């Protein structure tokens, strides 16, 4: 059987556009002689649609689109995903179309994604259908993870997927399907989405494996793709390509950022350039995605900013060819301190005064954003968010954070990758010691170990869920571990109000990792 695998980029709620894309692929599949064309889970609606999934009109529009898609399906079978209403609940189903008729719905049983539970109800799960003489096990979404005896009921397994990108997931996913094909002795194919949907990136990476567990068709990562898989053809097995973590993160961020702008109809981005590594990486990525004419930056030095910071920021802006303006914050800072003098009395300079600087910068960036409709890109990283080295409403501000799920050391990796063909981010920005420059001679290492050590501890704590004692036993300094643990726990309230963060892990703050704001547990 010739099966077309259509890995597309859908927009949530743009049912009309999604439908047109699907119909185009149906036509292409017919033209290329396919007997079946497969789309992703919830392709017609786009995903995750959250509470839209519980609106009757929304589900009706999805169904109407399905009916129209069916009218194009002469001489070809189609498996396409959509949410449907079923006994007053919404389920995620694959619709099987044959001879222009919707002949069957196969529902998803395993509803486990935090973005779906409470919006989607479990249905029956995997069903077996006959398509073009072949027995096909149709599996929707995470049902593929459920152990099943496919046995003699199935010649092949087809999975309409919806699985998002996170660090290391692509290789794990390939391996999971490879193993499934091998252990079940069945041909297996899955079709994923490829899209940025606000904070989520779907990476595509759809594939087909033969019954020996060999990859026979591999679709692109992070790009739309369409390929024909002939189950009767004896393919030369493909090698699963090596996945470079930094390259994948780079591509995931670019897709996420691009789609955030395209799908929201946004034109230009803005951000504050400090001369530091974080804003440099965000600016460079924004220019790659949106073009230098669509990125506008402000330099907002205070009395504590070093000359080299301003120089590094200017060098970067000039290298990137973007518009930059310098708006010193010193006078605003002074007028703020002056206005608050009766309240502050003779209290000494401290965190309050540091935060005021960060908040003035946030206010100026939002003013630029409000005035010209530029979209403010947040420039915080995950290490800072974790330990609370970020000012609420200052560093946490933005429309979207594109590096907020990357540890500081990963931001450096990205910077070096961006410079792979020549210096874009100034060498000095990469090499100098990080500093928030909110007080004289401040260094990020004043109160904590160097970032690579902090990151290693944070990674074990947050990504691996290790206890303090496990981390200490692994050889880390006990005082540092205790201190970092405490800092992470007591800064949950800042993360609660953080802007949306492009998810690059399964432990993105606020989404993959949720802690009670009020709790007395300290381990």
Q: Which of residues 492-511 bind a second copy (CB under 8 A)?
A: 493, 496-500
Residue 324 binds a second copy (CB under 8 A): no
510: left (phi over 0), alpha (psi -120 to 50) or beta: left
Of 303, 353, 311, 351, residue with least CA distance to 328: 303
- Beta strands at 89-98 and 77-86: parallel, antiparallel or unpaired: antiparallel
Region 112-151 residues binding a second copy, contact defined as CB under 8 A: 112, 114, 117-118
Region 395-414 residues binding a second copy, contact defined as CB under 8 A: 396-397, 399
Please choose, out of 35-43, 83-91, 129-137, 330-338, the segment that lies near a second copy by the rule CB under 8 A: 330-338
Of 208, 217, 218, 142, residue with least CA distance to 181: 208
Q: Residues with Cβ < 8 Å from 11, sequence gap 6 or more?
A: 17, 18, 46, 195, 263
Q: Starting from the edge strand earliest in sequence, which strands make up the sheet with 225-230, in order?
A: 101-107, 89-98, 77-86, 36-38, 2-7, 225-230
Selected from 344, 447, 450, 486, the binder of a second copy by CB under 8 A is: 344
Shortest Cβ distance from residue 116 to a second copy (Å)? 9
Region 446-465 residues binding a second copy, contact defined as CB under 8 A: 465
Q: Residues with Cβ < 8 Å from 170, sequence gap 6 or more?
A: 203, 205, 221, 243, 248
Region 191-210 residues binding a second copy, contact defined as CB under 8 A: 197-199
Residue 152 binds a second copy (CB under 8 A): no
* Alpha-carbon span 365 to 297, nearest angstrom: 9
Interface map 255-294 toward a second copy (x if CB under 8 A): ----xx--xx------------------------------
Residue 332 binds a second copy (CB under 8 A): yes
Shortest Cβ distance from residue 50 to a second copy (Å)? 5
Selected from 133, 234, 236, 343, the binder of a second copy by CB under 8 A is: 343
Q: Which helix (H) or strand (E) holds 416?
A: helix 408-418
**Polymer length in residues for the chain:** 523
Selected from 334, 420, 443, 486, the binder of a second copy by CB under 8 A is: 334
Q: Is the dihedral of CA 426, 428, 429, 431 positive or negative?
A: positive
Q: What angle do CA 449, 386, 313 make, to 5 degrees?
A: 75
Shortest Cβ distance from residue 237 to a second copy (Å)? 35
Selected from 21, 25, 29, 46, the binder of a second copy by CB under 8 A is: 46
* Alpha-carbon span 434 to 426, nearest angstrom: 14
- Beta strands at 225-230 and 2-7: parallel, antiparallel or unpaired: antiparallel
Task: For residue 269, give Cα distances in angstroms to 185, 265, 376.
Answer: 50, 12, 6
Strands (E), 328-381: 375-378
Residue 368 binds a second copy (CB under 8 A): yes
Q: Which is nearer to a second copy, 118 or 416 (CB)?
A: 118
Selected from 392, 403, 418, 438, the binder of a second copy by CB under 8 A is: 392
Q: Residues with Cβ < 8 Å from 249, sequence gap 6 or more?
A: 167, 406, 410, 414, 504
Residue 103 binds a second copy (CB under 8 A): no
* Alpha-carbon span 441 to 430, nearest angstrom: 18
Shortest Cβ distance from residue 361 to a second copy (Å)? 11
Q: Which is nearer to a second copy, 115 or 171 (CB)?
A: 115
Q: Which is nearer to a second copy, 85 or 419 (CB)?
A: 85
Selected from 67, 103, 145, 340, the binder of a second copy by CB under 8 A is: 340
Shortest Cβ distance from residue 245 to a second copy (Å)? 25
Residue 295 is classified by DSSP as E
Selected from 32, 33, 50, 99, the binder of a second copy by CB under 8 A is: 50
Residue 517 binds a second copy (CB under 8 A): yes
Q: Residues with Cβ < 8 Å from 346, sequence gap 6 or more?
A: none
Region 348-367 residues binding a second copy, contact defined as CB under 8 A: 350-352, 355-356, 359-360, 362-364, 366-367
Shortest Cβ distance from residue 283 to a second copy (Å)? 17
Region 57-96 residues binding a second copy, contact defined as CB under 8 A: 57-58
Shortest Cβ distance from residue 90 to a second copy (Å)? 13
Strands (E), 354-446: 375-378, 400-401
Region 415-444 residues binding a second copy, contact defined as CB under 8 A: none
């Amino acid at each position: 059987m010739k099966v077309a695998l259509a890995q597309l980029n859908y927009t949530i709620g743009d049912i009309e556009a999604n439908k047109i894309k699907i119909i185009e692929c149906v036509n292409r599949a017919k033209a290329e002689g396919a007997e079946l064309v497969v789309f992703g889970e919830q392709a017609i609606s786009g995903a995750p649609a959250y509470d839209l999934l519980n609106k009757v009109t929304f589900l009706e529009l999805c169904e109407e689109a399905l009916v129209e898609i069916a009218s194009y399906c002469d001489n070809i079978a189609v498996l396409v995903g959509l949410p449907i209403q079923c006994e007053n609940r919404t389920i995620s189903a694959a619709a099987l179309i044959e001879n222009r008729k919707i002949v069957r719905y196969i529902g998803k049983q395993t509803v486990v994604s935090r973005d779906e539970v409470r919006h989607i109800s479990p249905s029956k799960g995997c069903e077996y259908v006959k398509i073009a003489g072949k027995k096909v096990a149709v599996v929707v979404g995470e049902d593929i993870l459920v152990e099943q005896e496919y046995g003699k009921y199935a010649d092949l397994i087809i999975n309409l997927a919806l699985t998002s990108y996170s660090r290391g997931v692509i290789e794990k996913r390939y391996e999971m399907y490879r193993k499934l094909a091998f252990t079940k002795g069945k041909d297996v194919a899955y079709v994923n989405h490829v899209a940025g949907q606000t904070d989520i990136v779907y990476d595509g990476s759809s594939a087909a494996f033969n019954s020996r567990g060999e990859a026979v068709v591999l679709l692109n990562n992070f790009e739309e793709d369409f390929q024909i898989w002939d189950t009767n053809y004896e393919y030369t097995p493909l090698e699963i390509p090596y996945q470079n973590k930094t390259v994948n993160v780079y591509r995931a961020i670019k897709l996420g950022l691009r789609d955030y702008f395209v799908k929201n109809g946004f034109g230009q981005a803005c951000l504050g350039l400090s001369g530091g590594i974080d804003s440099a990486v965000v600016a460079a990525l924004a220019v790659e995605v949106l073009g230098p004419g669509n990125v506008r930056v402000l330099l907002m030095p205070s009395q504590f900013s070093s000359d080299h910071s301003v120089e590094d920021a200017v060098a970067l802006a000039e290298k990137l060819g973007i518009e930059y303006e310098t708006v010193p914050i010193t006078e605003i800072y002074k007028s703020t301190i002056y206005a608050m003098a009766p309240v502050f009395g003779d209290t000494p300079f401290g965190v309050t005064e540091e935060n005021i600087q960060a908040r003035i910068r946030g206010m100026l960036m939002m003013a630029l954003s409000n005035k010209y409709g530029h979209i403010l890109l947040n420039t915080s990283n995950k290490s800072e968010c974790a330990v609370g080295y970020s000012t609420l409403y200052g560093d946490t501000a933005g429309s979207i954070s594109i590096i907020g799920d990357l540890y500081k050391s990963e931001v450096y990796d990205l910077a070096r990758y961006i410079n792979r063909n020549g210096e874009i981010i100034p060498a000095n920005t990469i090499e100098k010691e990080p500093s928030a420059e909110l007080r004289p001679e401040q260094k990020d290492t004043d109160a904590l170990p160097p970032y690579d050590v902090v990151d290693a501890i944070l990674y074990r704590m947050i990504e691996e869920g290790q206890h303090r004692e496990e981390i200490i036993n692994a050889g880390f300094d006990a005082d540092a571990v205790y201190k970092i643990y405490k800092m992470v726990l007591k800064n949950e309230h800042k993360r609660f109000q953080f802007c949306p963060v492009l998810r690059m892990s399964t432990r993105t703050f606020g989404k993959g990792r949720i802690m009670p704001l009020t709790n007395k547990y300290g381990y």
